[in-house]
Amino acid sequence: MNCKALDVRKQYLVTGAAGFIGYHLSRRLLEQGCSVVGVDNMNEYYDVKLKSDRLEKLKPFEKFSFIKADISDKEAVSGIFEENEPDVVIHLAAQAGVRYSIDNPDEYIRSNIVGFFNILEACRHGAVDHLVYASSSSVYGANKKVPFEESDFVDNPVSLYAATKKSDELMAYCYSHLYKIPSTGLRFFTVYGPMGRPDMAYFSFTDKYFGGEPIRIFNNGDFEYDLYRDFTYIDDIVEGICRLLGNPQEGPVPHCIYNIGNNRPEKLMVFVETLEKCLGRKLGREVVFEKIFEPLKAGDVPATYASIDRLQEAVGFKPTTTIEEGLQRFADWYVEYYGIK
């Protein structure tokens, strides 16, 4: 796949550059000849070594520079913008995780609310051409209408994480209205793939299998009422972002929101069984996870399903990677990265 409408003359600032999506996006931009300034605070929410290894893969690119900084530090953010004068800002830094927000709410306010406000203020004073920022499918809450459309009512979040992401959308709209900052919000749907986040289910399941531990599946063992997720492979996410970078919204309020999902939800148990097969194929032996079934956890939702009509109309793109292809690439990477025999 090739990113469309990328202007290599522009300076791209990527927050969360050592994160899962941030790393893959930064790499794609650099491979296309773009100049990228990466920002990340390298926090310990998950294995810092994985973040460092991602950065090591970016450092050989001559047009890449990295700044270790926390976006909740307004002075630091202002300094980064003043020194680097970015044309396009892709804001991916955030405290992620639905369940983590139950026990650690302060982190979500500091990073997702205060941090995003600092980015908006810096964009306001920095004459940025386009701000693209990460939202989440979590804003749809327990919406029973599927597929989820960007015009759906999303004022009933079921987790603090979702509430912070909805707040980000509202703040971005306000700044677009007041200061004419072209901004685009992206509602990501369950992103997975190589060098992913260890807190995500597919990665955690794999860790537990090789650690000799059972996995926990939160559908209470009811296979008729299985969880559905719109699993979206990382390369499809990156392609969608890249195409949108050169497509800022126009009009009196230059703000728009897009779903980026696979548009083909899968049962969680089908996803788990496919992961078992992919790991078994890579290792040359049968892989079966030991499973413990529990009730749905607070903040979780039974289904996510993205309508991507708006994305297709805007940039002519629809994700194409099947879970079989995507999970095989993850399994191959995991086994090699961790030296599994």
Question: In this structure, is residue 325 part of a structural domain?
Answer: no
Question: In this structure, is residue 199 part of a structural domain?
Answer: no
Give, for all 341 residues of the chain, the pLDDT tens digit: 445 568 999 999 999 999 999 999 999 999 999 999 999 999 999 999 999 999 999 999 999 999 999 999 999 999 999 999 999 999 999 998 888 888 899 999 999 999 999 999 999 999 899 999 999 999 998 888 889 999 999 999 999 999 999 999 999 999 999 999 999 999 999 999 999 999 999 999 999 999 999 999 876 555 444 578 899 999 999 999 999 999 999 999 999 999 999 988 888 889 999 999 999 999 999 999 999 988 777 666 677 889 999 999 999 999 999 999 999 999 999 999 999 98
Question: In this structure, is residue 110 part of a structural domain?
Answer: yes
Question: In this structure, is residue 93 part of a structural domain?
Answer: yes
Of residues 161, 175, 233, 305, which has the active-site annotation?
Answer: 161
How many domains does the chain fold into?
1
pLDDT tens-place string over residues 305-325: 899 999 999 999 999 999 999
- Domain CATH for 149: 3.40.50.720
> For residues 32 and 159, what is the distance between their CA atoms, to the nearest angstrom?
37
pLDDT tens-place string over residues 102-150: 889 999 999 999 999 999 999 999 989 999 999 999 999 888 888 999 9
- What confidence score (pLDDT) does residue 124 get? 97
Contact 197, 203 (CB under 8 A): yes
> For residues 168 and 185, what is the distance between their CA atoms, to the nearest angstrom?
9
Question: In this structure, is residue 127 part of a structural domain?
Answer: yes
- What confidence score (pLDDT) does residue 219 get? 66
Put residue 280 in one of left, alpha, beta given phi > 0 → left and psi -120 to 50 → alpha: alpha
Contact 247, 253 (CB under 8 A): no
- What confidence score (pLDDT) does residue 102 get? 84
161 is catalytic: yes
Question: In this structure, is residue 39 part of a structural domain?
Answer: yes
Question: In this structure, is residue 216 part of a structural domain?
Answer: no
Which residue range(s) make up the domain with 237? 11-191+233-262+308-316
Question: In this structure, is residue 156 part of a structural domain?
Answer: yes
> For residues 333 and 123, what is the distance between their CA atoms, to the nearest angstrom?
37
pLDDT tens-place string over residues 164-185: 999 999 999 999 999 999 999 9
Q: Which of 236, 239, 233 is nearest to 328 (CA)?
A: 233
